[in-house]
Amino acid sequence: MTKTYTLKIIFGIASLLALSILIDGCKHDPDLSGTPLPPDPPDPKVCDTLNVTFTGSVMPIFQANCLGCHSGSNPYYGLDLTNFNHLAAIVNDGSLVGSVKHTEGFYAMPKAGAKLTDCDIKIIEIWANDTSFNVVCDTNNVTYPGTVFPILKAKCLSCHSGAIPAGNLDFNNYDHVALIAQNGALMGALNHEAGYAPMPQNGGKLDDCSIAQIGIWVRDTTFTDPGGGNGHPCDSDTVYFQNEILPLIVSSCATTDCHDKITEEQEIIFVDYTSIIEHGEIKPFEPEESKLYEIIIKTDPDDRMPPPPADPLNSDQKNKIKKWIEQGALNNYCDEDCDTTNVTFSGSVWPTIETNCLGCHSGAQPAGNILLTDYNAVVVQANNGRLFGAINHDNGFSSMPKNGPKLADCKIDQVKIWIENGTPDN
C-alpha cells in the first residue's frame, strides 16, 4: 500500500470520528470495526533473502566489510572485488562463500574484522549460487607476466614472499618459480598429487582454468638453470634487480640523511627488495602506477627523487627502472660472465660507477666532495688511490658503496686492471 493511500485512509477515519461527535444523537453512526488499518513498517531485523540482487544486496555488504582491502590500485592478495573477472574467479571456485563462512581450507574473511552476520552470509551464498559467470578460459595466449604471475600473486604470495617465505620459495623471484616448475613440484602441488603438499595450503584448490593455464606455461617453457652460473648467461633483454636495480636505488636514494636504515626520511627506506617494493609502492607490470617510478621522472626539483642538490637520474637509469617494473618487478639476479681480458672504461668501469657510485658522487654537493660524473673525474680518484681503496675496502679508506654491499670481486678486478693499464679512455 502506498504512503498516499495510507494517509487518505487515516484522514478519512479521523473525519468520520469528528463527524460522529458533531452530530449528536445520530442513529446512523458509521461502523468502523471493519476498516483495515495501515500495515506496520518492514522490520529491519528481518533478513530479506527473497529479493537478492548484486547492487542492492551484495555490493553494500562488500562496501561495508571488504572493499577497504580488496579494491584500488594495489588490492590485498591482488583481489579486487569491483573487478568482474576477479569476482567471477572466487565465485566459481567457491572461495567467496568458503571465506565468508569461515569454512576449513579457506581464508577466513573479513581478515581483520568480525565474521559477517548470518544474514549477510546467507545473502552472499544465495547470490553466488544463483549467479552464472560465463568466463572464457583463455588457453591460447598464456604468458608468465600476463597469466601465470597474476594467479600466483592472488593465491600464493601471502605465503611465498617476504623476508622468510614458506619453503624458502619467493614467488616474486622468477627463478624460484622456474625451479619448482622445472622439477614438477609446482604442478604436483597445484593438482594435489600424492607426495606433494597441496597448494594453496589454506585457500582451497585452484580452479580448473588457472591450473590448466599454469600447466600450459610449464609445458611450453624451456627453463634454464634457476640458480644462475654455467649455462645461464644473463639475458640482455632482462633487467636484473640484484645486479642493476638495487645498487642504483641504494646509491641514489638510500644515502645518508635520506632513505637509509638509520635516517628513514619520511619513514621510508630503500635498502632491499622488500622495502623497495613496499615503500616504493611498486605495482608489477605497471610503472605508471608505481610511486617509485612516478617520483623519479618528475621534473620539478621540489617533487623529484633524488632531491637537490643531487642530480636527477639520467634517462638510461629511469628507463632501466621502468623496464624492470614492466617485466614484473622480480627479485631476480644473474651471474654475469666476468671478462677481465677486454677491460675498457666505457664497457667495464663506467657501468659499475654509474650504477653503484653516481647517486652519491654527483650533483652540487657530492659526498666527500668527490665527483665521479665523467671519465676525467673518475681518473682523478683512480690516480690518487681512493677509487680502488674504497671499493676494495682497504684500511684507511671509507668502504664503498657506503650503504650497499661490497662490489663483486669481478667488478673490483676490472677496476684494478683498468688502473694498472694506465686508466685509458676507451
Residue 332 lies in a domain: no
The number of folded domains in the chain is 5
Identify the CA nearest to 171 among candidates 328, 276, 325, 291. 328
Residue 411 lies in a domain: yes
Residue 215 lies in a domain: yes
Q: Are 111 and 69 within 8 A, CB to CB?
A: yes
Q: Which range of residues forms the domain containing residue 27?
A: 1-41
- Pinpoint the alpha helices (H) of 116-184: 118-130, 149-155, 174-182
Alpha carbons 124 and 130: distance in angstroms, whole number: 10
Let me know how many helices (H) and strands (E) the chain has, helices first.
Answer: 17, 0
Grid cell 571456485 is found at 93
Residue 139 lies in a domain: no
Q: Are both 252 and 308 inside the same structural domain?
A: yes
Of 71, 105, 130, at which residue does a domain stop? 130
The angle subtended at Cα 358 by Cα 409 and Cα 297, nearest 5°, is 125
Q: Kindly give, in sequence order, each residue whose CB lies less than 8 Å from that of residue 155, ignoring residues fewer than 6 positions away.
A: 77, 200, 203, 206, 210
Identify the CA nearest to 204 among candidates 147, 156, 134. 156
Q: Kindly give, in sequence order, each residue whose CB lies less than 8 Å from that of residue 347, ignoring residues fewer than 6 positions away.
A: none
The angle subtended at Cα 266 by Cα 265 and Cα 267, nearest 5°, is 85
Q: Are both 4 and 75 inside the same structural domain?
A: no
Grid cell 627463478 is found at 175
Q: Are both 188 and 165 inside the same structural domain?
A: yes
Q: Are both 357 and 414 inside the same structural domain?
A: yes
400: its cell numbers: 664503498
Query: How do the pLDDT tens digits run along the chain, 426 residues long?
Result: 444 444 343 444 444 343 333 334 444 444 545 555 555 544 555 788 888 888 888 889 998 898 888 877 667 767 778 777 778 878 877 888 888 998 887 778 887 778 999 999 999 999 888 877 666 678 888 888 778 888 888 888 888 888 888 877 888 888 888 888 888 889 988 988 887 888 887 667 888 888 888 998 888 887 654 444 333 456 777 888 878 888 888 777 755 455 444 444 555 666 677 778 888 888 888 888 888 898 888 888 777 777 777 778 888 888 988 998 888 887 777 766 677 788 888 888 888 887 777 767 776 677 778 877 788 888 888 888 888 888 888 888 887 777 666 777 888 888 888 988 888 888
CA distances from 166 to 157, 172, 312 (A): 10, 12, 39
